[in-house]
Structure formats: C-alpha cells, structure tokens
Amino acid sequence: MINLFIGLAAGFFGGLVGLGGGVIMIPLMVGILKMGQHKAHGTSLVALVFTGISGAFTYALNGSVDIPASLLLASTAIFTARAGARFANALPEWKLKRSFGGFLILISLLLLLKPYLYHVAEPTTGWLKIVVLLSTGIFTGFLSGMMGVGGGTIMVPSMVLLIGFTQYTAQGCSLLAMIPVGIVGAYTHWRLGNVSTSILPGLVPGVLLGTYLGGSLAHILTEDALRAIFAAVLIWTGSKYLRTPKPQADEESTTVEEN
C-alpha cells in the first residue's frame, strides 16, 4: 500500500506539471522506505518510463505533443543517459545536489519572467530550433541518468523559454521523450545493482493512475497557474538540494569506496 501511495503521488505530480515525478518519488523512497540514495535513483527511473507512457498518451489526446521535437530531444539524450547513470557513482553526491539546486532555482525564476522576456518568447524555427532541442537532450539525458529524474526540469523551461512552446506542449514533449531516455538510464542502473524490483508491482500502478489524473487536471488549469506551480516546485526542490550538508572526509571516502 505504501508503494502504491508513493507511485500515486509521484505520478499525479508528474502528470500535472510535466515532470517524471522523480523529485517526489526519490525523497519518499528514501524517507519512508529507507532506501539508499543510489538505489532510489535507479528505481525511480524504471517507474518514470511508465510515467512517460501514461503522461504522453494523456497529453497527446489533448493535442499537446510535438512528436518531432520529442524525437530530437531523445536522440541525443539516450546516449548521455547511460553516461550520467555511471557518473552518479563517481561524484560526491552533496556537490552534485548543491549545484543542481542552484540551477533549479535559476530556471524557476526565468520561467516566472517568461511573459516579460519577449525576445525569448517568440517561437524559434528551423535549424536553431533543432540545435536547441539536440543540445537540451544532451544535458537532459546526462542529468536524468545521474539524478534519477525524467529531465522535465530542464526540457520544459528550455522549450518554453528558448523555442516558444506553450507550457502544455513542452510538458507533453518532455513526457514522451523521457520514455526512451528512462529505459536507457534505468537499464544502466539495473546493471549497477541500483534498482529495487520488489517495490515495482505497487509503484508502477500508482504511477500510471496518478499520471493520468494529473495530466487530465493540467488542461483544466490556466497556463499561468501551471507556470507558477512548476516554478514553486523547482524552488522548493532546489532549496532542498542547496541545504545538502557536506559529509565528513572519512564518510565521503567510504561512500566513494562503496560505489
């Protein structure tokens, strides 16, 4: 029942704001299930594959998925996702979390200012659009594999701010792109022993149901409300990452040795 609740909460959140729900799922698995951080990241990625399937389907029914854009994002992200999953075992976790926290807060502020940034709010087309999507995929894939998230935290702001997609379309594209990216990252984590298969039978159904409910509700809210929700979540998550304490030298070396 607890696994189902975690999946439901993560799926609903992911479907609502276009995230995979990893920022909710990982803290819940670590805090409630007492799962190790690395295993939580790997298990999260497995569940996010199903989040992407359910969420992308829901957004597609409402005409909010740009398939070519999703394919461009995924075409580079699938290569860097594998590298990100492996790199997660090499870097001190506290450094990564602090850097990512600052990045999340910066992106959230840019997203809130989007209506006033007319020079980036105009739709981007042609080769520039392709370059932006491919570049976003490179960074997103690496981050997805490393942090156990779907990558919506980067994909959505990039598509909204740099390309001019609506919030709905950007979220739909990010959910579709995370399917192949999540598969690659999850497989790599599984090979590294960072996936808890025992909780998946409860986690996945909750994710599927929650994502459908969240995705359906997203089209009821206004775009300004979605942008505010998305930014608030990024600021909250980023502040949590920034407060990650620096471990003692002996603890850090022990962690590196264990990985």
Q: Each residue of 223-257: pLDDT tens digit? A: 677 778 778 877 887 898 788 888 775 444 544 44
- In percent, the amount of the chain with pLDDT more than 70 equals 88
pTM of the model: 0.75
pLDDT at 29 over 80: yes
* pLDDT for 250: 44
User: At a CB cut-off of 8 Å and minimum separation 6, what does 128 contact?
Assistant: none
User: At a CB cut-off of 8 Å and minimum separation 6, what does 149 contact?
Assistant: 19, 20, 22, 23, 26, 44, 48, 143
User: At a CB cut-off of 8 Å and minimum separation 6, what does 103 contact?
Assistant: 238
- Average pLDDT, stretch 19-48? 82
User: At a CB cut-off of 8 Å and minimum separation 6, what does 189 contact?
Assistant: 38, 41, 42, 43, 45, 46, 85, 145, 148, 195
What value, to the nearest 5°, has the Cα angle with vertex 95 and ends 76 and 40? 65
Radius of gyration of the CA atoms of the chain, in A:
17
CA atoms within 13 A on the CB side of 196: 19
- Average pLDDT, stretch 93-108? 76
At 119, list the tokens.
């020079």
pLDDT at 120 over 60: no
Letter string b/e over residues 161-199, b meaning 16 or more CB atoms within 10 A of that residue's CB? bbbbbebbbbbbbbbbbbbbbbbbbbbbbbebebbbeeb
Q: How far apart are the first and last CA of the chain?
A: 31
φ, ψ (nearest 5 deg) of residue 19: -100, 165
* pLDDT for 134: 94
124-134 confidence digits (pLDDT tens): 778 888 998 99
Least confident of 22-26, 112-116, 192-196, 198-202: 112-116
